[in-house]
Amino acid sequence: MVKPVGTAPSFSHIGPSHGSRHTAHTAATQAHEADRVAQIKKAVEDGHYKVDMDKTAHKMAQDLLG
């Protein structure tokens, strides 16, 4: 049934576990990204960070070409 304009949508079709799985996945992804950032930051501070020029050039070319 179509609801009148301005009423809040109903999300009763979404199960309770769907949101918790998404939240857990998001938290795990954020933790992984934070760990990776910390690793890169330490490598830069220690003077050991090396830029992969081939990979960087390839990614830049792909971005420019669409």
Residue 10's pLDDT is 67
Query: In terms of C-beta density within 10 A (0-12 exposed, 13-18 middle, 19 or more buried), how is residue 3 classed?
Result: exposed
Task: Tell me the CB-side half-sphere exposure of residue 49, using CA atoms within 13 A.
Answer: 12
Which residue type does 34 have?
A
pTM score, whole prediction? 0.50
> What confidence tens digit (pLDDT) does each residue in 28-65 have?
999 999 999 999 999 999 999 999 999 999 999 999 99
Nearest-angstrom CA–CA distance, 66 and 56: 15
Higher pLDDT residue, 3 or 1? 3
Residue 13's pLDDT is 61
Residue 15's pLDDT is 58
Of the candidates 49, 21, 19, the one whose C-alpha atom is nearest the C-alpha of residue 37 is: 49
In the chain, count of helices (H) and strands (E)? 2, 0
